Amino acid sequence: MKALKFILLVIFFSFISKASFSQETKRIQIEYTGFLISNESKNKGAKVFVRDNTQQIHIIHDGINMFCDKAIYYEDDDFIEAFSNVKMQQGDSINMNAKYVEYSGKTKLAFASGDVVLTEPQSVLTTDTLFFDRIKQQAFYKSKGKVVRDSSGTITSQIGRYYMQNKKYQFVKDVVLVNPEYTLETNRLDFHTESGNAFMFGPSTIVGETSTIYCERGFYDTKNDTGHFIKNSRIDYDSRIIEGDSLYFDRNKSFASATNNIKVTDTLNKSVIKGHYAEVFREKDSVFITKRALAITIQENDSLYLHSDKIMVTGKPEHRITRAYYNAKIYKSDLSGKADSIHADHKTGITQFINLSRFSSSDAFTKKRKPVLWNLGNQMSGDTIQLISNPETEELDSLKVFYDAFLISRDTIGESDGYNQVKGRQLIGLFKNNELYNVDIIKNAEKIYYSRDDKNELVGIDKSKSGLINIKITDNVIEEIRLMQQIDGSLSPESEFPESARKFRGFDWRDDERPKNVEDLFSDDPPLNLPVIKGLDDYIPQEEFFDEDMLKRIEDAKDKTDSKKENKAARNLPKRINTNRLSPKRSVKKVKKSTKKAAKNDR
């Protein structure tokens, strides 16, 4: 029994000895002292070391190595001050140089000032003053700093924090990233050194040689020059402005895409394109947009609206071409139209309404897909329609209808459901003040016309054939129809004109398809299901880990870096700094109070 007690006592004292040794190894150690100057009465127990001619003073503590020309060690508080050419190393990856460093072995908290340089494998941080918390593995500055990264450029900010375990910087206030290709400015920036990914919070701009990007929350890959921007995002591309809920940008490909509530403004050609998905290729000078695509040509008195499943705009600003295909429609207060595809050349002023051959004759909707144009009360249709306008005045000049041309206007005076009709191989119309005033029907021309006298009394129904028919129109009313090279024709009383003969073969009055306002352009669109933009997480202010007294020392540290005062300090030993500010014994309430205040200021 006594032997067992003896063994237990040996184990107990052995454990106590090892624990004491372990505790001892966690204290600051002076590995190389140089010259020791002892003046404990003046420095309250501090030991002063000055380097010799062979090497600097070497200090170690729990995985760090520190070198300096002069050191003051407060042994009771396990606290050290290092002066002149201070080098601090943590492992193989973190190195810090400064003119002056304070370090507490109890809190593992360091404060550096005077040309501070913190180096890690991916970047170099320089600042005037820096705090280093070894427990949290975080470095912090609030006196302006600069981070240099070869592949990404240089980042400056008023406040910065480096998370060593995550290899991430967090920059706050007056953040500027300068790269040879662009300059990024923002309020807050999270930057990951290994990936080169940057996250922007608050109003942010990226200005390059050919583009300017704005957003209030965004992501940018500085290695691959790609970005994703949300919240009031916008890209300025030469003469185009791209806006949307979500924007993607690839600088190398000069490419941008946008999703949801998109608006592309052409400032040179005074046009706007809207939709919910778009792609922009700058080098090709093209824009592709779909999902409720709408192109607006802004005119002085009356804008022209173009809608289709898809819209593509290509060409240089001086020669833009717009292509709208699949169920394309246009609307203007005095003109509207519909076709499978609409092709507009803005330089020549020619707009073509095309019936796509992809539809077979057996398609039930083939007839409805024939191009049709409405000008006030007149409906014109055919296999292909060309609408020609003056590019300078933006007024309608003429129109051409090719193959199976058909002009219909309703006889609104009489009580009967009658229609004036003219058809032929080709139709050529002329406009004045955007109103159709002259129409020529060429080859195989035929007409059905409700003829009236001066009192608008119906005289009869005229049905004739001719090689050429000329029509004069005033105030949207047909005033005169002249037949050239008349072949045959007759004027019959309405009562003697059979109902079955009052419409030509192929007659199709399509007024129910006519867009009467902008909203009508979307009347037969399928339901729109927009994707949900997940976006980026909100900015979360990081908890401050220094109290106000510590932050005040940033200003006080400037005195220590002044060369004259430093020389004076070498002659007259400096007063001992209140180490309680680095001590774990400081008031918990004070720390919490200052932490909340600092977090509030960050918000």
- pLDDT tens-digit series, residues 10-34: 444 444 433 333 444 478 899 888 8
E strand or H helix at 515: none
Separation CA 566–CA 464 (nearest Å): 112
Greatest alpha-carbon pair distance for the chain in Å reads 142
Mean of pLDDT values over 400-421 = 85
Number of helical (H) and strand (E) elements in the chain, helices listed first: 5, 35
Mean of pLDDT values over 502-515 = 91
CA-CA distances (angstroms) from residue 17 to 23, 60, 165, 317, 488?
A: 10, 22, 34, 84, 128
Q: What is the pLDDT of residues 234-283, one digit of tens each?
A: 999 878 899 999 999 998 888 999 999 999 998 887 889 999 999 998 88
Q: What is the pLDDT of residues 421-449, one digit of tens each?
A: 999 999 999 988 878 889 999 988 999 98
What's residue 11's pLDDT? 42
Extract the tokens encoding 97: 């140089």
**pLDDT band, residue 4 (cuts 50/70/90):** very low
Domain ranges of the chain: 2-136, 334-513
**pLDDT band, residue 385 (cuts 50/70/90):** very high
**pLDDT band, residue 204 (cuts 50/70/90):** very high
DSSP symbols for 27-64: S-EEEE--EEEE-HHHHTTEEEEE--SS--EEEEETTE
**pLDDT band, residue 144 (cuts 50/70/90):** very high
The 3-state secondary structure of 537-592, one letter per residue: CCCCCCCCCCCHHHHHHHHHHHHHHCHHHHHHHHHCCCCCCCHHHCCCCCCHHHHH
What's residue 369's pLDDT? 66
With 0.85 as the threshold, say if the pTM is over it.
no
- Could you tell me the end-to-end alpha-carbon distance of the chain, in angstroms, rounded to an integer? 68
- Residue given tokens 């918390």 in the structure block: 133
CATH architecture of 334-513: Sandwich (2.60)
Contact 107, 121 (CB under 8 A): no
| Residue 7: DSSP 8-state | H
Q: Which fold has domain 2-136?
A: lipopolysaccharide transport protein A fold (2.60.450)
